[in-house]
Amino acid sequence: MTGLLELPTQQTVKQSKKRDYISYSAISTYQQCPLKYYFKYIAGLPEEVVSSNLILGGAIHSAAEFHFNQLMMGNPAPDQDMLLSAFWNEWHDRGEEVEIRFGKNEDINKIAEMADRILVEFQQSELAIPHGQILGVEEQLRGELIPGIPDLLARIDLITANDDELTITDFKTSRSRWNGVQAEDSGEQLLLYSELAKQLAPSKKIRLEFAVISKTATPVAERWPVTYDPTRITRTRQVIERVWSAIESQTFYPAPSPMSCGCCPFRDPCRKWRG
């Protein structure tokens, strides 16, 4: 053993194919950094350090999931204390798995203050009110979208329906407020998910939206629609085909980025990698 990481052998790539599906997050990871994809999805390296920003977003997501699950079961909307409990349960669970790296001038007390402000804003906003009947919370859908490529596995945050529409909602937390252009530019994931969701209500129009809460001093919760565009769906499928072709050909390399490398959980193995 040299202590250096090597590219996967044919055997390790064959083993990785036992995962007979792909996810949009996996494709996005490859687009962000092919070597990060290798470490996470092929080598299966554990995440040693994760930024508090990512853990915060995941814990807010868990609190929103708890809120909608309660509504779907016919229970009253949970109060602030219940949402905070769901938040901290997720935070502590993740903290047992990885080391949480706090940002500059950040500590657990500031995280607690931010979580409280975000969840108050969520409760008081229209994001907490579903468009119609809740059909699914964290609903998993799976299907073949591209012949010759593994099934796409989608985890949809919230699916609701009224008489005319089926609404697919994806929840996001963001460092700053979004705008319509940013929502449209981020819409590929929802567009692909809409292809899988058609089977749930074939006769209904599909509505796509992001529910975004800003992690600012005064959080703002907003809905941002995404235009259903068959041309973009075709384009996104073509992108996935090319990404999958690169993965199959074992094209893995680092993609240094000042925005991504600082919070990457694979910084140490990346430094040791020599191609």
Q: In sequence order, what are the beta bridge partners of 224?
A: 210
Do 174 and 234 lie in a common domain? yes
Instruction: Evaluate whether 247 touches 30 at the Cβ level (below 8 Å).
Output: yes
* Assigned domain for 56 exists: yes
Q: Distances in Å between the alpha carbon of 178 and those of 146, 186, 192, 213? A: 31, 11, 21, 9
Number of folded domains that form the chain: 2
Instruction: Evaluate whether 67 touches 119 at the Cβ level (below 8 Å).
Output: no
* Assigned domain for 190 exists: yes
* pLDDT averaged per 10 residues, the chain (length 275): 42 52 94 95 90 94 98 97 98 89 90 97 96 93 92 95 94 95 94 89 90 96 94 94 95 90 87 86
Do 154 and 230 lie in a common domain? yes
Predicted local distance difference test score (pLDDT) of residue 18: 55
Q: In sequence order, what are the residues at sequence separation of 6 or more whose Cβ sits closer than 8 angstroms to the Cβ of residue 188?
A: 24, 232, 236, 239
3 state DSSP class of 84: helix
Do 137 and 225 lie in a common domain? yes
Query: What is the spatial distance between Cα 91 and Cα 11, in angstroms, rounded to a whole number?
Result: 37
- DSSP label of 198: G
Instruction: Evaluate whether 162 touches 133 at the Cβ level (below 8 Å).
Output: yes
Per the structure, the complete domain to which residue 122 belongs is given by 49-128
Do 171 and 121 lie in a common domain? no
Predicted local distance difference test score (pLDDT) of residue 275: 75
Model pTM? 0.87
Instruction: Evaluate whether 216 touches 177 at the Cβ level (below 8 Å).
Output: yes
Predicted local distance difference test score (pLDDT) of residue 23: 94
Unique residue bearing structure tokens 């259903």: 228
Predicted local distance difference test score (pLDDT) of residue 202: 83
Q: Distances in Å between the alpha carbon of 122 and those of 84, 102, 177, 265? A: 12, 24, 14, 29
Instruction: Evaluate whether 142 touches 21 at the Cβ level (below 8 Å).
Output: yes
* Assigned domain for 25 exists: no
Which phi and psi angles does 213 have, rounded to 5°? -120, 125
Instruction: Evaluate whether 122 touches 222 at the Cβ level (below 8 Å).
Output: no
Predicted local distance difference test score (pLDDT) of residue 3: 37
